[in-house]
Each structure stands twice: as C-alpha cells, then as structure tokens.
Amino acid sequence: MKPDMGRLLEVAAGHLMGTTAPLLGDAYEQSNVSVLGMMLMAVGHEHERAAARRVEENGVLRRLFAKAADSAEDGELSARLTAAAASEDADLTVSALEASNAELRGLLVELHAALEEIDSPAARELEAEVWQELAASTRRRSLPTLGDT
C-alpha cells in the first residue's frame, strides 16, 4: 500500500464536514468539527504545493541576489549575496527547503535595508523588485477558498 497524504486529508475533511458535523446535536461542536475539516483541506492543499512553492521562491530570491550583488556598497553584504545566489537546494525535503528559505528571506531583509540607504536609480529599481517579490511571496502562501479547492 502506498499512502496518499492528499487523498487521506481530503477524505478525512469530507467525512468530518459531511458526515460527523451534521450528526452532532450541539451547534458549537458542529462548528468546531466543520472548522477542523476545513483546516484539514488547507493542510492538504499546502502539502501538495509545499516543496514547489519553496523551490520557486528560493530560485527567485537567488536570481534577485545575483542581480543585486554588484550594487551592494557593503563588500561583506555583496559577498554574501554572491554566495547565496550561487547556492542550491540539494535537499528537497520541506524542512530543508524551509530552512533555506528562511535564510534567504533574512538576507532579503538585509538587502532591502541596504538599498534604502543608497540614493540611486539602480537602487530604487532593485528596491521595487524586492517589494514585488514580497507581494508575490504573499500570494504564493495564500490558501484557496472552499470554492477553489
């Protein structure tokens, strides 16, 4: 048997919302069980896209760092940007990808702060790209509504 996490979560969520919740006499408990079912659906959605979302975001950040490395006025920051741009995600487990993503996002914050201190059109252009990526990363993390699943 090959367990299918997505299917398990889908069936469990459907059972809780469609079978168990309606059988409960207490409206508060019905609501709790229905919310639990919706949370399982969200977990199933996130499970399906977890690695892909992190790989995509890590790649975007690395490309941004490669572009920004020459613009950094701080030599140490420039070296770190260059190293991060050249790094790769060799371990594709979600926990390793998340750790890499956290490190890259921390460097993005440093880059953003450094860009704010530079008065040049190139810095403003890179700063705009940072903001675009922050908005895109928020969209990547959004969960579908019930009608979207």
Cβ within 8 Å of residue 72, ≥6 positions away: 78, 81, 111, 114
- pLDDT computed for residue 86 by the predictor: 97
User: Under the phi-then-psi rule, with left for phi > 0, alpha for psi from -120 to 50, and beta for the rest, what region is 88?
Assistant: beta
Q: How far is CA 126 from CA 61, 63, 105, 111, 123, in A?
A: 12, 12, 15, 9, 5
Q: How far apart are CA 5 and CA 29, in angstroms?
A: 26
Task: Identify how many contiguous H helices and E strands the chain contains and give both numbers.
Answer: 6, 0
Q: How far apart are CA 72 and CA 135, in angstroms?
A: 22
- pLDDT computed for residue 121 by the predictor: 93
Strand, helix or coil at 144? coil
pLDDT tens-place values along the chain, 149 residues long: 788 888 888 899 999 999 999 989 889 999 999 999 999 988 988 888 999 999 999 999 999 999 999 877 788 999 999 999 999 999 999 999 999 999 999 999 999 999 999 999 999 999 999 999 999 999 988 887 655 54
pTM above 0.75, yes or no: yes
Q: How far apart are CA 81 and CA 149, in angstroms?
A: 38
- Which tokens hold the place of 149? 């699943």
- Which tokens hold the place of 70? 């020459």
